[in-house]
Amino acid sequence: MKKILITAALTGVIAGAAFADSNVVSSANVVGYVQTETFAAGQFRLIAPQFLQTPTNGIALGDAFNNVPDLTKIYTWNGLSYKAYTYYKAAPGWLDSIYTPSDNVIIEQGDALWLQSSTVTNIVMSGNVPQTDSITNVLVAETFNLIACPYPVEVTLGDINTNSLTNLDMAYLWNGVSYKAYTYYEAAPGWLDSVYTPSDGVKIKVGQGFWLKSKAGGALIFDKKY
């Protein structure tokens, strides 16, 4: 397999299509990185590390992010509550609220999280590009799930597998300042916004997470698009 570099800014067209150079030395892994939009100091974003660290089914906090300012915070969601981690340059790296070293905490494929940067910066996420044909995540019923496409590609609301959706499921996309809500209607074209505009084409950018409020729960399957 050739070594491929995937580069994308969340503001631009997905670079998901990776590009290969016939002169690049073959590698066992396909590696890539994504650079986020610029964070303002103290700004929250819903982001998703979409790369792998073998042999896990995700990537560790200590390996998922680069260019992280001191005192940046991450909040992970378990379906019921948040857990917070703070990045300390002078410490081992990420520590939880009782200062336990947390670099080895795994962010599983398809999970998203909140990241609050302490200063103006662009966070870089990198690792091995997932190569399995499909990835399944479990949705918790009757609650909010903080999720993402597990592949480093741009997708749309219409790309979400309808077998995992129930009538009136809700998706909430965060633009850095506020949410926009979309409702799934089984009898309609699919996703509609709050004024009933068809919204299947609404984009979820590479590296972007979102909330999905699921009524029935179940297995959410994403298929590889590259």
pLDDT tens for 115-138 read 999 999 999 999 999 999 999 999
**Do the Cβ atoms of 47 and 28 come closer than 8 Å?**
no
Q: Are residues 64 and 112 located together in one domain of the fold? A: yes
Query: Taking 80 as the threshold, does the pLDDT of residue 196 lie above it?
Result: yes
Mean of pLDDT values over 94-105: 96
The domain boundary, picked from 104, 128, 152, lies at 128
Q: Are residues 205 and 141 located together in one domain of the fold? A: yes
The domain boundary, picked from 79, 102, 128, lies at 128
Query: Taking 90 as the threshold, does the pLDDT of residue 141 lie above it?
Result: yes
Residue 24: inside a domain: no
pLDDT tier, 199 (very low <50, low <70, confident <90, very high otherwise) = very high
Query: Taking 50 as the threshold, does the pLDDT of residue 144 lie above it?
Result: yes
Residue 180: inside a domain: yes
Q: How far apart are CA 178 and CA 43, in angstroms?
A: 12
Q: Are residues 96 and 176 located together in one domain of the fold? A: no
The domain boundary, picked from 128, 155, 172, lies at 128
Peptide bond into 55 cis (omega under 30): yes
**Do the Cβ atoms of 30 and 4 come closer than 8 Å?**
yes
Residue 26: inside a domain: no
Q: Are residues 156 and 124 located together in one domain of the fold? A: no
pTM: 0.84
**Do the Cβ atoms of 104 and 62 come closer than 8 Å?**
yes
Name the domain count of the chain.
Answer: 2
Task: Give the DSSP H or E segment for 64.
Answer: helix 61-64
Q: Are residues 106 and 166 located together in one domain of the fold? A: no
Residue 141: inside a domain: yes
* Nearest Cα residue to 8 out of 37, 36, 34, 41: 34
Answer with the residue of higher pLDDT: 15 or 69.
Answer: 69
Mean of pLDDT values over 73-92: 94
Mean of pLDDT values over 47-69: 91
> 170 is in which domain, residue-wise?
134-223
Residue 14: inside a domain: no
Q: How far apart are CA 93 and CA 71, in angstroms?
A: 10
Q: Are strands 7-9 and 94-96 parallel, antiparallel or unpaired?
A: unpaired
